[in-house]
Amino acid sequence: AQSVTQLDSQVPVFEEAPVELRCNYSSSVSVYLFWYVQYPNQGLQLLLKYLSGSTLVKGINGFEAEFNKSQTSFHLRKPSVHISDTAEYFCAVSGRGNTPLVFGKGTRLSVIA
Amino acid sequence: DAGVIQSPRHEVTEMGQEVTLRCKPISGHDYLFWYRQTMMRGLELLIYFNNNVPIDDSGMPEDRFSAKMPNASFSTLKIQPSEPRDSAVYFCASSLIPGLPTDTQYFGPGTRLTVL
């Protein structure tokens, strides 16, 4: 079975500063990794995903994440955040072979003007 | 495609009443998921279907909860009787085939349920 740990429940950051949201996963099999974003009063939407190949994955809105197999991590980064990035971010893992996503508990990113 | 459609968007009901939440998945998606989101417990998977058949309902909290998928374009989540602790946002999501490179879950806007 897979599991996901998001190490920070809340991350405040000033506008135009860089941010990193941490995610560690546990799995005994090869996995696919995802980051979803939830804006206030909306459903989740896909930000980016790692399937295979290059360990650096670029997503929408300037976000990127790096898959690190040895550290079982998939941290999300953005070099310069905007007010509009204020949202909740969920890391998720899927084991290969018809298994549903397992979500972390989320990290609330608050961008301060 | 209009995306995953959920109704109603908001529901306020009194304890003991029956509540029915509805979901229309994206056409062609074989999998449908029901989630519950609360501040305390985060995002919980309640049940998911493959080709209209329930695959795993281990996340359904208790017998008061039931879910059906009578056809590929419609699913319901029913709570009977409802209790205040059921207050949450309920999301429906659909995807092609989990565990494959095409795996992306598409979420509906959610139904915010308040049980008084």
Q: How far apart are CA A75 and CA A111, in angstroms?
A: 18
pLDDT of residue A19: 98
Confidence of residue B1 (pLDDT cuts 50, 70, 90): low
B20-51 pLDDT, tens digit each: 999 999 999 989 999 999 988 888 999 999 99
pLDDT of residue B2: 79
Query: Tokens 């429940």 appear where?
Result: A9
Q: How far apart are CA A6 and CA A18, in angstroms?
A: 18
**Closest partner residue to A98 among B42, B91, B97, by Cβ?**
B97
Residue B14 token pair: 């009194």
Q: Mean per-residue pLDDT for B52-72?
A: 93
CA B66 to chain centre: 10
Please tell me if residue A5 touches chain B, with a CB cutoff of 8 Å. no
Q: What is the longest distance spanned by two Cα atoms in chain A?
A: 44
In this predicted structure, the answer to whether residue A98 has a pLDDT above a threshold of 70 is no
- Write the single-letter amino acid at B105: Q
In this predicted structure, the answer to whether residue A99 has a pLDDT above a threshold of 80 is no
A37-73 pLDDT, tens digit each: 999 888 899 999 998 888 899 999 999 999 999 999 9
Q: What is chain A's Cα-based Rg?
A: 13
pLDDT of residue B97: 74
In this predicted structure, the answer to whether residue A91 has a pLDDT above a threshold of 90 is yes
pLDDT of residue A95: 74
**Closest partner residue to B103 among A32, A43, A52, by Cβ?**
A32
Q: How far apart are CA B103 and CA A46, in angstroms?
A: 11
- Residue with the bigger pLDDT between B8 and A95: it is B8
What SS3 class is residue B60?
coil
pLDDT of residue B101: 63
Chain B residues contacting A via beta carbons under 8 Å: 4, 31, 33, 42-43, 45, 48, 50, 56, 91, 93, 97-101, 103-110
Phi/psi at A71 (nearest 5 deg)?
Answer: -100, 5
Q: How far apart are CA B103 and CA B80, in angstroms?
A: 33
Q: What's the burial of A47, exposed, middle or buried (CB within 10 Å: 0-12/13-18/19+)? A: buried
Asked if B91 lies within 8 A of A49 by C-beta distance, the reply is no
- Residue with the bigger pLDDT between A53 and B64: it is B64
List chain B residues with CB under 8 Å of A46. 104-106
Residues A92 and A34: beta-carbon distance below 8 Å: yes
Mean pLDDT of chain B: 92
Instruction: Provide the β-strand partners of residue A10.
Output: A108
